[in-house]
Chains A and B, each alone.
Chain A
Amino acid sequence: MKPAPFQYIAATSLAHALALKSEHGDQAKFLAGGQSLMPTMNFRLARPAVLIDINGVGELSGIACAATGPTRIGATTRYRAMERDATLGASFPLIREALPEIAHPQIRNRGTLGGNLSHADPASEMPAIAVALQARLKLQSATSERWIAAADFFLGALTTDLQPDEMLTAIELPRPVPRTGSCFLEIARRRGDFAIAGIAAMVTLDGDQKCTHARLVLCGVGETPVDASAAAGALIGNAVTEQAIRDVAALAQGMIAPGGSVHATSSYQRHIAGVLTERALATAHLRASDGQ
């Protein structure tokens, strides 16, 4: 399974990369980690005429954890670098918990956050986490620059709001809110496989152990990450009880329309989404109470 022919250009700067993308539009694809793109090219499902290698563009990678203000992650930051960054893991335990579920170390040594988000596989973990964390994504072209909420970025299976001349260049995570516990859980057939269903849950408590804020985003159960945070609406202002969690899970199940796959029926996916919601919310709540 060999890729079809293409022209390869190693971009020397962001401006160079964006100029090339402007020139070639949809005929060109960016090559970052290649862990999603190369399999599709080897299968000849993707046949870009031009491959713009952005691995050499230093300004696109890096993690800047500010003391105050948002954390910024460059798009070509590798998963491995994110795993090794203790500050990132401490500030965003959701990311730290999800990373070991993503493929395998060999993939994480090359795969990048920006590449994964741009690929927008429905069963991929990071898009759901980006939505849960209410990340903002920076999209740049040779002539423009804009920010978009993660929730607005994912439009469908393998489809994002990226225009033909744009590149996702940075991901910004808002400052974590104190007294927030989070939990990422996933069910997959084997370790590292794409999720049959996965959930990112966050619970924020006030001084009286009452919930002030909750986030609930699922992956693998729709064409895009499904933000089911509204299902947790009833938690706001109240103590988080087991029954309340079960009610949220039931509501969340009603908010998804999973399509089923060779690995799981849609009813199993819906069932698992409920189970994971319960378990993730319970753990997130416990971690918030423990003062995470």
Chain B
Amino acid sequence: MDNDFHDIALTVNGTAYNGRVESRLLLSDFLRHDLGLAGTHVGCEHGVCGACTVLLDGEPVRSCLMLAVQANTHAVSTIEGLASPIGDYSPLQQAMHDHHGLQCGYCTPGILMTMTAFLDEHASPSEDEVREALSGNLCRCTGYQNIVDAVLAAADKMRG
């Protein structure tokens, strides 16, 4: 069959983009290769590892399980949008740096997006709650302990 293309318009990190995408193009591939936003990483393409997690209208989703065409009219947030325009870290980014919450950094984008959304909804999480929220993101390097510390520290900081 002839491949099927669609025009889409969406915002990513507040910037408007237009594209013409094949219907089967995954959102993860669209972000990385069509928009050049390679900060979102691909680890499994079956929704388990969480490295590809982005925010869709503020909520964490697996971009490998969405089609680019489905993002039409929606707002996507990725790791590239976390720091301020002049490069100041978000509280979570700073805490991850302070607590050595990343080693190879490959799973980090998914974790940052997942836990940024988590911290927006949970101002005073317990360690158990943090581990629960983190359990949908696989990390092979850190053993998670420092990531948990970073999230708790960021929550502390954000409470003032």
Contact = CB atoms under 8 A, between A and B. Distances in A.
Contact of B4 (A7, A106, A107): A7
Interface size class of A (residues with CB under 8 A): 20 to 34
Contact of A6 (B23, B64, B135): B23
Interface stretch (B66-74, B84-92, B143-151, B152-160): B66-74
A55 B26 contact: no
Interface in A191-213: 191-192
A42 B60 contact: no
B47 A38 contact: yes
A60 to B, nearest CB: 16
Interface of B, helix, strand, loop or mixed by DSSP: mixed
A246 interface: no
A275 interface: no
Interface in B21-51: 22-24, 26, 29, 45-47, 50
B104 interface: no
A190 B135 contact: yes
Nearest to A103: B136
The interface centre, meaning the residue of B29, B59, B61 with most chain A CB atoms within 10 A of its CB, is: B61
24 contacts: A2-B45, A5-B23, A6-B23, A7-B4, A8-B23, A34-B65, A38-B67, A39-B45, A39-B46, A42-B46, A43-B46, A55-B70, A80-B59, A104-B50, A105-B118, A106-B50, A106-B62, A109-B61, A110-B61, A110-B65, A110-B66, A191-B132, A192-B135, A192-B136
Given A2-B26, A43-B46, A109 B4 contact: no
A4 interface: yes
A107 B3 CA distance: 28
A66 interface: no
A124 to B, nearest CB: 14
Given A55-B70, A192-B135, 4 more contacts: A3-B26, A53-B70, A106-B50, A109-B61
A31 B23 CA distance: 13
Interface in A1-52: 1-8, 10, 31, 34-35, 38-39, 42-43, 49, 51
A7 B60 contact: no
B64 A42 contact: yes
Contacts of A4: 24
